[in-house]
Amino acid sequence: MRNDIAAAVDAALAEVAAASSAASLAGLSGSVVGKKSPLGQLKSKLGSIGDIDERKALGQALNDAMRAVEAAIATKRAECESAELEAQMASEGVDLTERIAPSRRGRTHLVTQATQRLEDVFVGLGFQVAEGPEVESDFYNFEALNMPKSHPARSMWDTLFVESAEPGSVVLRTHTSPVQIRVMQEWPPPIYAVMPGRVFRRDTPDATHMPVFHQIEGLVIDRNITFRDLAGTIEAFTKAFFGADFTSRLRPSYFPFTEPSAEFDIRRANGSWIELGGCGMVHPNVLRAGGLDPEEWSGFAFGFGIDRMAKERHSIDDIREMYTNDLRFLRQFS
Ligand code: FA5
């Protein structure tokens, strides 16, 4: 009988090993350890064994054999169930991961990059950043800047007017200089501020002009400020923004809101000069319009063209290239 038990166990384990699904293993349980299985039939023959000790020992051996087969079924069933679950998840799962190819990623525009860099350089020199409105009143754009109505210097800027109840009283700001007045009215001196922003003029587009472009205004108000402070700040700025081997110059000029006034040029690699901005000592009338006493406070101001700075920094031939939105051009500047 012991041989029969061993043979039945071997046959049952072989059937378990050959089963390939959890469902077939569930059915197998009855046929290998049930009453009608070979092992079950051997059990029913136990009663015919006369020797009681032998009967007990064989009963024990049969129970052990059945438990071993049941354990093999349970182990194999767990393996099949987990393999079936994995296969089901792989076939029904939805892949939610998304990949954006590096070449499709956006980047900041050249003029935005230049503005951020300019702000960084001036913040490094101790300046604060301010902003003003793009739609401006005649008062801030001209009058408070020492250009009363019909002042001939107003024609220095080809102005775009906004329709309003009082014609001519609302403009698209032609420069960032009106923000000087707003800052003087709001911030107590001393003032060290830069004000970047978009400006508008009825200029015909060409290699160095756009009708919509960007400026960064600078304003310093303190006690005993002189032209040397202005020249020193512009020199420090040029080296920080363009590099140590860049040359700049100040040329005498005229602006109604500064006295004396100058124009700021830098020299390009080919030896020619390009005008980047205007500057000068803040006119006493402008200090008064900003609510400051010219006897106590003095200062300097400047206004640079940001688009031209970006153009020169990256050696771009034509300023219009930056606005045609040709991705092959824009992608060169990460
Ligand atoms: C002004 O706008 C004065 N507000 C600057 C200023 C501020 C002087 C403070 C004194 C004190 P101007 O019109 O020159 O000045 O313009 C300044 C700079 O803006 C120019 O040097 C140039 O770099 C840039 N710019 C002028 N017009 C255009 C344009 N159409 N397209 C691109 N950049 C321009």
- H-helix segments, the chain: 2-18, 22-33, 38-44, 52-92, 110-124, 138-141, 178-186, 227-242, 284-289, 306-313, 327-330
Of 92, 122, 139, the one marking the end of a domain is 92
Most confident of 163-172, 211-220, 236-245, 303-312: 211-220
Residues 222 and 291 in one domain: yes
**What is the predicted pLDDT for the residue at 102?**
65
Domain boundary among 64, 92, 120: 92
Asked if residue 229 is part of any domain, the answer here is: yes
Which residue lies with its CA nearest to atom 29 of ligand 1? 209
pLDDT digits (tens, 9 = 90+) for 117-131: 999 999 999 999 999
Same domain assignment for residues 87 and 183: no
Q: How far apart are CA 261 and CA 250, in angstroms?
A: 9
Domain identity same for 79 and 200: no
Q: Based on the fold, state whether residues 72 and 127 are members of the same structural domain.
A: no
Residue 65 lies in a domain: yes
Query: How many independent structural domains does the chain possess?
Result: 2
65, 8 contact by CB (below 8 A): yes
Task: Answer yes or no: is the C-beta of 322 below 6 A from any ligand 1 atom.
Answer: no
CA 106–ligand 1 middle distance (angstroms): 30
Using 50, 70 and 90 to split pLDDT, how confident is the model at 173? very high
Q: What is the mean pLDDT of the chain?
A: 90
Q: What are the angstrom distances between the C-alpha of 90 and each of 70, 84, 95?
A: 30, 10, 10
Q: What value does the mean pLDDT take over residues 230-259? A: 89
Upstream peptide bond of 190 is cis (omega within 30 degrees of 0): yes
* Structure confidence by residue, pLDDT tens digits, 52-99: 888 888 888 888 888 888 888 888 888 888 888 988 888 888 888 777
Q: Do residues 154 and 216 share a domain?
A: yes
Which of 153, 130, 180, 175 shows the shortest CA–CA distance to 289? 180
Q: Give me the pLDDT at residue 62, please.
A: 83
Q: Does ligand 1 lie within 6 Å of residue 256's CB atom? A: no
Residues 186 and 278 in one domain: yes
- Please tell me whether residues 177 and 205 are part of one structural domain: yes
114 and 54 in a common domain:
no
Show which of 92, 119, 139 is a domain's final residue: 92
- What band does 39 get if pLDDT is binned at 50, 70 and 90? confident
Domain shared by 58 and 142, yes or no: no
Here the CATH number for the domain that contains residue 201 is: 3.30.930.10
Name the residue of 183, 215, 233, 322 whose CB sits within 8 Å of the most ligand 1 atoms, as the mutation to test its pocket.
215
The range of the structural domain enclosing residue 57 comes to 2-92
- What per-residue confidence (pLDDT) applies to 162? 95
Distance CA 283, CA 301 (A): 10
Q: What is the average pLDDT across 7-16?
A: 85
Domain shared by 86 and 118, yes or no: no
In the predicted structure, residue 197 carries a pLDDT above the cut 90: yes
Cα-to-centroid distance, 3 and ligand 1 (Å)? 107
Ligand 1 and 237: CB distance under 6 A: no
pLDDT of residue 313: 85
Statement to judge: residues 66 and 136 lie in one domain: no
Q: Are 317 and 181 members of one domain?
A: yes
d(CA 291, CA 287): 6
